[in-house]
Amino acid sequence: MNSKVVVIGPPGSGKTTVGRLLAERLGVPFRDTDHDVETTAGKPIGEIFVDDGEEHFRALERAAVQDALATHDGVIALGGGAILDPGTQADLAGHRVVYLEVGLSDAVKRVGLASARPLLVLNPRSQFRKLMEERRPVYERLAVLKVATDDREPADIADEIVKGLS
């Protein structure tokens, strides 16, 4: 069985937290492409947006996703917006992609609207709703498994994914 699983979803859906638990349960390594981008750039994502712009960030993100898909045999958590890239969408075909679905109020609680989320700077709640509405159809189209995360413990979500993929 292919051990590679790709976790997608909006900010606050639990990609990193659930991804780590899922990797643990599957006995495979975990990788977070946002972390890869920060390591490559030598600074946090928020600073990349401010210093270099979103376009530069997206290019770094695209490269990180390509590398992870090509070299990592485990669980990969993608940044929330990585799926907007048509190349990434094509690359995900044939992979076991899990979409972590989260409602606006749960996502806002988890992310915190004052945090370093560069796309949520002005009117965070409205921006977040817009972002989720734009991305939802793409998340749903790419996923082989959709898991609701609202009011649930990460461990329960990871268990559901293991069952859903087996």
> CA torsion angle for 30, 35, 36, 40 (degrees, to 10)?
-160
In angstroms and rounded to an integer, the radius of gyration of the C-alpha atoms of the chain is 15
**Residue 14, annotated as binding a ligand:** yes
Q: What is the pLDDT of residue 1?
A: 42
Q: Provide the sign of the torsion angle of the four alpha carbons 110, 131, 135, 103, taken in this order.
A: positive
**Residue 39, annotated as binding a ligand:** no
**Residue 15, annotated as binding a ligand:** yes
pTM of this structure: 0.90
* Tokens of residue 134, six digits: 């734009």
**Residue 88, annotated as binding a ligand:** no
> CA torsion angle for 47, 53, 56, 57 (degrees, to 10)?
50
Q: Which residues of the chain have pLDDT under 50?
A: 1, 114
